[in-house]
């Protein structure tokens, strides 16, 4: 078995990838496009699936936990617009505490 084969390793890799993308988006000073949002959604789903299934939610960073929360409601246009604005700052704020 290699590193990355275990689910907890997969979770660590997904968290690291999500954090890197969140930092990259915030540092760019630009608004995230649909492709970046789709990437974040996929990472959020992976992190949520692994963290909650394996009872490893304590390993989620605040930004990744907030990302999961934001991505749970992206079918709402107004919510998505707020998310795009929130992505311009790092760490990512929790949606219900975001101003």
Q: Tell me the whole-structure pTM to 2 decimals.
A: 0.91
Distance CA 92, CA 67 (A): 7
Output the average pLDDT for the chain. 93
CA 60 to chain CA centroid, Å, is 10
pLDDT in tens, 45-81: 999 999 999 999 999 999 999 999 999 999 999 999 9
Residue with tokens 């617009």: 81
Distance CA 84, CA 29 (A): 11
Q: pLDDT > 70: what percent of the chain?
A: 94
Distance CA 28, CA 94 (A): 20
């Amino acid at each position: 078995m290699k590193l990355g084969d275990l689910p907890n390793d997969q979770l660590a890799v997904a968290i690291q990838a999500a954090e890197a993308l969140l930092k990259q988006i915030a540092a760019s000073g630009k608004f995230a496009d649909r492709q970046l949002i789709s990437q974040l959604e996929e990472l959020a789903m992976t992190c949520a699936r692994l963290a909650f299934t394996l009872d490893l939610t304590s390993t989620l960073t605040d930004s990744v936990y907030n990302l999961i929360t934001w991505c749970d409601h992206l079918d709402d246009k107004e919510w998505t617009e707020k998310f795009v604005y929130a992505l311009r700052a790092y760490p990512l704020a929790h949606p219900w505490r975001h101003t």
